[in-house]
Chain A
Amino acid sequence: MRIMVDIDDPVPLFTQLITQIKKAVETNMISAGDPLPSIRQLANDLDVNNKTVAKAYRLLERDGILQSKGYRGTFVHPDAKANTNTDLNAWVLEELGSTIDIFKNSGATDSEIRIAFASVMNRQKQKGA
């Protein structure tokens, strides 16, 4: 199974990688438990930065498409096929959109929403630290 990225495409490389790996899972080109190449191998084969592949793998792991098994490598998650339908990014956009609609309907201005959003994000960050 081959994947292809286009460095001139406006879509970020890590997003292209995520899309292609998800597509490979959807079309059964790779199935649950199959091993994936190491970050270094894929990065060198595609002539991209290791961090780009690492970011794509991290996000796919978060979405339940891949699972990392330490030194043994990265594998396709047992529930990968079901999880490909879950688009976390689209879900966040939808949830945030409806929440912003509620604020706007209550009379909050754009700048108040922006300041409040930034403030909550900062508080979350501090909590995390």
Chain B
Amino acid sequence: MFTDILFYSVFLGQIFLLSYHYPKKIFTKITYVLNTYPASKYPKLYRHSQYIDPENKLRKTARRYKYANSAIALLGLGILLAMAISGYAPHTIKENQHLLFVVFYFLLQSFPHLLVEVSTYSWYKCMRYAAKTSTRTADLRPRRLFDFISPVYVLFAVLAYIGWVSFYLYNKGFSAAWDSQTYMTMFGMAAMNLVFFSLGYKSFLGKKMDPHQADEDQHKQITTTIRVSVFASILMSLQLITFNAINKFGWDIFEPVAISLYCQLIIVFGIGEMLRRLKIEDVDFSVYKDETVAPV
């Protein structure tokens, strides 16, 4: 019974966080920008090579994002309600079918966020294209990794990774550990960490996404991206350690709860971290004003 209540509560939390709380914050953020910094006063923010009326396009996209999340939230609540009405008790189901609910529902919940990320990337790309000027500036101060993140977090990420490798091999038995599954797992984990490293590295030393962005805002963005990448690596290692422990000790009943909690933590330390650190009120929007237009 306890595990059933736990599962329903955690799944409800997943619906609330991923399809209501954070989407609402993101939608408010977009609306705030559109209302406070309109294209008439901040043309560089909307100067876009692809659309005739980019401001309107952005409003439509934001509305679609809101509706998509609302529909997904309703679907989630519908699933929960159907489970409750039909008397679905997760602790009595051996095959952990509800595990699939959690995973697939998380993938569905991630879809609008993924679309927003892709749109943002494409938006910046067009912005860079439209903002081609002959003069370019750069800071003569070097950027160093530990100016953006505490070494403690990086060390913790390395230790978590070593911890997972050790625990995984210990569970498999060190002497007979090296089969194809072990290689695949090790390779997968290394590849994921490489992705996180590339994300951090690209933001740290790569080209500026937003060509007009103020230095201070760029610093904040790099800090956030690096922190999110390191947190994601730590979470991934801890999650795998948790699942190895669940399998080893036969706590399969808690697996869906653990997966749902992991999904929520990814969002809290991913989107949540970005929303906490990159406060829209602190962003310098004066860089998007058109200096060629004389003030009236």
A interface list, Cβ under 8 A from B? 1-9, 21, 24, 29-30, 35-38, 40-42, 44-48, 73
Contacts and interface: CB of A to CB of B under 8 A. Distances in A.
Contacts, number: 61
A6 B138 CA distance: 12
Which DSSP category, helix, strand, loop or mixed, fits chain B's interface?
loop
Contacts of B140: 1-3, 21, 24, 29-30, 36-37
Which of B138, B142, B143, B206 has the most chain A CB atoms closer than 10 A to its own CB? Answer: B138
Given A3-B140, A73-B142, 19 more contacts: A1-B139, A1-B141, A2-B137, A2-B138, A3-B138, A4-B136, A6-B134, A7-B136, A8-B134, A29-B140, A37-B143, A38-B205, A41-B205, A44-B206, A44-B207, A44-B208, A45-B207, A45-B208, A46-B137
B142 A5 contact: no
B292 interface: no
Which DSSP category, helix, strand, loop or mixed, fits chain A's interface?
mixed
A129 B141 CA distance: 38
A36 B134 contact: no
A94 to B, nearest CB: 30
A37 B136 contact: no
Nearest to A17: B138
6 contacts: A2-B138, A6-B134, A36-B140, A41-B143, A42-B138, A44-B207
Interface string B118-140: 00000000000000001111111
B139 A47 contact: no
Interface residues of B, number: 14
A30 B206 CA distance: 24
B134 A41 contact: no
Nearest to B143: A41
A5 B133 CA distance: 11
Q: Enumerate the 3 nearest inter-chain pairs by beta-carbon distance, A residue then B residue, closest first.
A: A45-B138, A8-B134, A37-B142
A35 B141 CA distance: 7
Interface string B141-153: 1110000000000
Contacts of B135: 4-7
A38 B136 contact: no
Interface of B: 134-143, 205-208
B226 to A, nearest CB: 14
Contacts of A3: 137-138, 140
Nearest to B139: A2
A25 to B, nearest CB: 10
Given A38-B205, A44-B206, A45-B208, A4 B137 contact: yes
Contacts of A73: 142
Contacts of A46: 136-138
Contacts of A4: 135-137
A105 B134 CA distance: 47
A88 B206 CA distance: 33
A70 to B, nearest CB: 15
Nearest to A44: B207
A2 B142 CA distance: 12
A2 B137 CA distance: 6
Given A5-B135, A7-B134, A35 B205 contact: no
A126 B255 CA distance: 72
A7 B141 CA distance: 22
Nearest to B218: A45
A9 B141 CA distance: 24
B142 A41 contact: yes
Given A2-B137, A6-B134, A48-B136, A38 B142 contact: yes
Contacts of A40: 205
B66 to A, nearest CB: 35
Contacts of A29: 140
Contacts of A35: 141-142
Contacts of B207: 44-45, 47
